[in-house]
Amino acid sequence: HLPLSIIAGPCQLESRGHALEMAMALKEICTRLGLGLVFKTSFDKANRTSAGAARGVGLAAALPIFAEIRESLGLPVLTDVHDAAQCAPVAEAVDVLQIPAFLCRQTDLLVAAAKTGRAVNVKKGQFLAPWDMANVVAKVTGAGNPDVLVTERGVSFGYNALVSDMRALPIMAGTTGAPVIFDATHSVQQPGGKGTSSGGQREFVPVLARAAVAVGVAGLFIESHEDPDRAPSDGPNMVPLKEMEGLLAELKAFDVLAKKRAAR
Amino acid sequence: HLPLSIIAGPCQLESRGHALEMAMALKEICTRLGLGLVFKTSFDKANRTSAGAARGVGLAAALPIFAEIRESLGLPVLTDVHDAAQCAPVAEAVDVLQIPAFLCRQTDLLVAAAKTGRAVNVKKGQFLAPWDMANVVAKVTGAGNPDVLVTERGVSFGYNALVSDMRALPIMAGTTGAPVIFDATHSVQQPGGKGTSSGGQREFVPVLARAAVAVGVAGLFIESHEDPDRAPSDGPNMVPLKEMEGLLAELKAFDVLAKKRAAR
Amino acid sequence: HLPLSIIAGPCQLESRGHALEMAMALKEICTRLGLGLVFKTSFDKANRTSAGAARGVGLAAALPIFAEIRESLGLPVLTDVHDAAQCAPVAEAVDVLQIPAFLCRQTDLLVAAAKTGRAVNVKKGQFLAPWDMANVVAKVTGAGNPDVLVTERGVSFGYNALVSDMRALPIMAGTTGAPVIFDATHSVQQPGGKGTSSGGQREFVPVLARAAVAVGVAGLFIESHEDPDRAPSDGPNMVPLKEMEGLLAELKAFDVLAKKRAAR
Amino acid sequence: HLPLSIIAGPCQLESRGHALEMAMALKEICTRLGLGLVFKTSFDKANRTSAGAARGVGLAAALPIFAEIRESLGLPVLTDVHDAAQCAPVAEAVDVLQIPAFLCRQTDLLVAAAKTGRAVNVKKGQFLAPWDMANVVAKVTGAGNPDVLVTERGVSFGYNALVSDMRALPIMAGTTGAPVIFDATHSVQQPGGKGTSSGGQREFVPVLARAAVAVGVAGLFIESHEDPDRAPSDGPNMVPLKEMEGLLAELKAFDVLAKKRAAR
């Protein structure tokens, strides 16, 4: 039972400067707390609610920034891929390829990500049962890559709403054998809840994160931004940077307790 | 932020001897752990899946047993009531009247329970949103009784299934002002899941209880039995008596951590 | 395959005069259309969202009005009962006792209703699967009364919302053997959706009623009022009286087509 | 209000011979009934539950077969596309590009499909509310293509289950302005319900199709196979070819009635 890892960063890669600043700030926090950090940011938001919404800097601009963060800060980097052709070039610049929830059943994408040899983090679809992730993980491991993570991010619950089933965490661990991550950011999303964009309930990030850590997870996924209300995407559910250290300190204490218990 | 209270006991009042033994055993455990205990058992299971299922010893037989447990063991007692006429006689013998989830909108029952002056614990219906409990609590307080508790026990999620939304705990606390209990026993029920009776997933009691305590609750409701597989009701979701001390010790540690945080 | 029956009337018994007027108006419509009519109205709304909401004229005042409607208009009458003690007196004055959805698992109420010998219409709980109604019906038939109807009125779908699963209609018919009614009024309810009262979507009454009749039902339950926006309860989902004839004429045409097919 | 159109065919393109036989048989049925037919079949099942499941003949092999069906039988052809690069070549050979439900928010795919100038049929994601489809349709029309259809195929309802909300049909029509199709095949799917494949409930295809047609739709999507139990995919929910004529005749009668009403 390894200590909690943190996957954190701004939802979108807004610019080189912003990404480096965020990565540095998060690294300092996690170093002080003794928590492992994987820096997360997206070069393209390929499935925004509306076509008019900001999508990000794009693949070509992002790759050198990812590489710079890895080299200059020594941080592993995670980003999401949306089609098979992106996997190989992205794998050159990052440590973990993430499969978005909507795409978690797309066989070609899973296999292409697997074949890069990089770790693959698959988000569980909002339409899937936790035990269904065993078939998803098998698509990656069956392509020769044993290095898979699975992430819970809420399940559809009526219209424009998600619910986080905490039973899903041990069920996915047991049925997939993969480390389980809890995505506290997208679990509080209200999909489509604001008409032409998704709403969110930032105030529940600490609530659900605490629950998940007490149940027992390998890692937490938490998006953060120095000014979420001005972020180009997922603002309503990102944690303000200045609150991250307090939140992570608290979650670390729950993780230590949960893993002491599990180690007995 | 008071320490965690435990509401525990066998689902059904099977006999005087069984009730006293269970109450004594649970009292010893909670005394060793320094946890408050309310003894819970039901004199009538009024809404079993099938008419043929065992319903319990009935009101007349139960009242002296409740009184004996209170007097000889000094334990507060909780039991559920199913119609307005039961409230006054039951209130003579117990400390807390519990309103079953299916009945949480029955105005007459809520008002009759309120008028006894005893504490009233209302279980949230499987068909209610957490914020809907504010109207339910107002029916009790509006009848002159400020001593109300609310209990989360899962919400309908498709057919024959419940899900526990951990956001419901702070939402109910905030919108009702009442102490919030998490019912870890019925939250793992699979309603109607076994054809003529409800199934359950006992293995998830510690999972959901840990999550709820980490989020922060006033109390936990956990049914227990020395031999759940032979219990006349709710066997699939009761915790074996011999596992209760380990479970409660672990949950106490999470509660201490959660309330230290909240007290800052 | 008998032709469609209609259960209709104002949600609440507001006064003798109002009930008689509504009954007469609905009788004229159904007579013109050749549709059987059961007049429905409630003497007590026992589970309103808020304690402050209007509850109706009460049992004692209602019974002579029910009797008068039966005698003077020759209409069968249906009303709902909320505890076992109401069943016998209500049965003296009405033809069908209805069990509210929240109470569909209360064994004593079902048995007391059954023992009156009157027909019993049980609404499926918002928390039940359609196949679970077999156990509910068995509580009535097991008490010696074969004359049971079952009514679909939507199932919980996230918070403050219901969805109507049209598969439930043949599933209930097949598993219970009872005639199946579709309640087009409460199926469009938005439970708790207006804070201290339930909302509704009257515009979907014809949509869901048409779907249900095309699938095949024994009857339709549709509440109506000459001025729904001023009705003391369920206004948002009642059909204005002046629209009933057009709606029922259309539904009759679908019923004739559905039953011609089924008769092949 | 145009008469009902039918989108039908075998789930997978199994071989040239099989596709031609099915297309011819379905054409004969629809010609006899006076119903418009679009032939549907898939060259690749890109999101099977398991990696080991059959995926189809592939794009290169399929295009000449699509072309042959269009030319020799004079039937419009519909097939689904899974990434942006497929859109242009597929558009050379078919009349309608279909966007799978899981991919209905992928902006690049929607725009690439739109830019071919072919009609685009977007299936509503199992995780979307009906009103959310307005944003999806706007991605296509915003790319200059007004020729969009939207298809209802069920919404997530607990785990491994879907429910068909008949209100979604008029809601999508009203909010998108696009013709609405009801997919009676995938609406009865039980996603992941058989462990390594999806289950289905073929017996409910006529039930849900009748409901949808009575509510009012522009078209129906029904997969069919001469021997569904031996089909490589979606066997549990395809309608046997020999039952199609009876089913479509019945549905046509409901459509005529529904549209006569609407035309008033």
Per-residue b or e along A181-213, where b marks 16 or more CB atoms closer than 10 Å to that residue's CB: bbbbbbbbbbbbbeeebbbbbbebbbbbbbbbb
Q: What is the mean pLDDT of residues D160-170?
A: 97
What CA–CA distance (Å, rounded) separates D96 from D140? 13
What CA–CA distance (Å, rounded) separates B164 from B180? 14
User: Number of Cβ pairs closer than 8 Å across A and B?
Assistant: 67
Q: What is the mean pLDDT of residues D4-20?
A: 96
Element holding B189 (H helix, E strand)? strand B189-190
Q: How far is D45 from chain A (nearest CA, A)?
A: 9
ipTM for the predicted complex comes to 0.95
Interface of A with B (CB under 8 A): 155, 157, 163-167, 169-170, 201, 204, 207-208, 210-215, 250, 253-254, 257-258, 261
Give the model's pLDDT for residue A152.
98
* pLDDT band with cut points at 50, 70 and 90 for residue A149: very high
The angle, 0 to 180 degrees and rounded to 10, between the axes of the packed helices B107-115 and B133-141 is 40
- Angle (nearest 5°) at CA B86 between B80 and B92: 85
Q: How many CA atoms lie within 13 A of A117 on its CB side?
A: 3
Q: Which residue of D has its CA nearest to B156?
A: D158
* pLDDT band with cut points at 50, 70 and 90 for residue D200: confident
Q: How far is D112 from chain C (nearest CA, A)?
A: 35
Q: Which of D3, D1, D2, D11 is nearest to D221 (CA)?
A: D11
CA distances from C179 to C81, C125, C135 (A): 20, 17, 15
* Predicted TM-score of the model (pTM): 0.96
Partner-chain contact B105 C49, CB within 8 Å = yes
Q: What is the mean pLDDT of residues C108-134?
A: 97
Residues in chain C: 264
Asked if B132 and B112 touch (Cβ cutoff 8 Å), the reply is: no
Q: What is the separation, in whole angstroms, between the first and last Cα of chain B?
A: 11
Partner-chain contact A132 D191, CB within 8 Å = yes
Q: Identify all chain A residues contacting B167, using CB atoms and an 8 Å cutoff.
A: 164, 201, 204, 207-208
Q: Identify all chain D residues contacting B159, using CB atoms and an 8 Å cutoff.
A: 157-158, 161
Q: For residue range B125-142, what is the model confidence (pLDDT) as tens digits?
A: 999 999 999 999 999 999
At residue D13, the 3 state secondary structure works out as coil
- Per the structure block, which two tokens stand in for D85? 């690069």
Partner-chain contact D159 B161, CB within 8 Å = yes
Q: Identify all chain B residues contacting C105, using CB atoms and an 8 Å cutoff.
A: 47-49, 102
Give the model's pLDDT for residue B120.
98
Q: How far is D50 from chain A (nearest CA, A)?
A: 5
Q: Which residues contact A246 (CB under 8 A, 6 or more apart)?
A: none
Is residue D263 over pLDDT 80? no
What CA–CA distance (Å, rounded) separates B198 from A189? 32
Q: Which residue of C has its CA nearest to D171?
A: C204
Q: How far is D119 from chain A (nearest CA, A)?
A: 19
Q: For residue range B195-228, what is the model confidence (pLDDT) as tens digits?
A: 777 788 999 999 999 999 999 999 999 999 999 9
% of chain D with per-residue pLDDT over 70? 98
Give the model's pLDDT for residue A264.
60
Q: How far is D161 from chain B (nearest CA, A)?
A: 7
- Rg over alpha carbons for chain B, rounded to the nearest Å, is 17
Q: Which residue of B has its CA nearest to D156?
A: B158
Q: Give the residue with greater pLDDT, C2 vs C224.
A: C224
Q: What is the mean pLDDT of residues C183-192?
A: 92
Partner-chain contact A169 B254, CB within 8 Å = no
At residue A22, the 3 state secondary structure works out as helix
Partner-chain contact D126 A127, CB within 8 Å = yes
Partner-chain contact A215 B215, CB within 8 Å = no
What CA–CA distance (Å, rounded) separates D185 from D208? 9
% of chain C with per-residue pLDDT over 90? 84
Best probe of the D interface among A48, A86, A159, A194, by most D CBs < 10 A, is A159
What CA–CA distance (Å, rounded) separates A180 from A71? 27
Taking 3-state DSSP, the helix, strand and coil percentages for chain A, each rounded to the nearest 5, stand at 45, 20, 35
What CA–CA distance (Å, rounded) separates A216 from C227? 56
What CA–CA distance (Å, rounded) separates A73 from A95? 14
Give the model's pLDDT for residue D154.
98
Q: Which of C42, C35, C8, C27 is nearest to C185 (CA)?
A: C8
CA distances from D63 to D43, D91, D98 (A): 9, 9, 15
* pLDDT band with cut points at 50, 70 and 90 for residue A64: very high
Q: Identify all chain A residues contacting C158, using CB atoms and an 8 Å cutoff.
A: 157-159, 161
Q: How far is A72 from chain B (nearest CA, A)?
A: 36
Is residue A26 over pLDDT 80? yes
The angle, 0 to 180 degrees and rounded to 10, between the axes of the packed helices A107-115 and A84-93 is 30
Per-residue b or e along B42-74, where b marks 16 or more CB atoms closer than 10 Å to that residue's CB: bbbbbbbbbbeeebbbebeebbebbebbbeebe
Interface of C with A (CB under 8 A): 157-159, 161
Partner-chain contact A51 D106, CB within 8 Å = no
At residue B199, the 3 state secondary structure works out as strand
Give the model's pLDDT for residue A192.
83
Q: Which residue of C has its CA nearest to D201?
A: C167
Q: For residue range D244-259, what is the model confidence (pLDDT) as tens digits?
A: 999 999 999 999 999 9
Is residue B264 over pLDDT 80? no
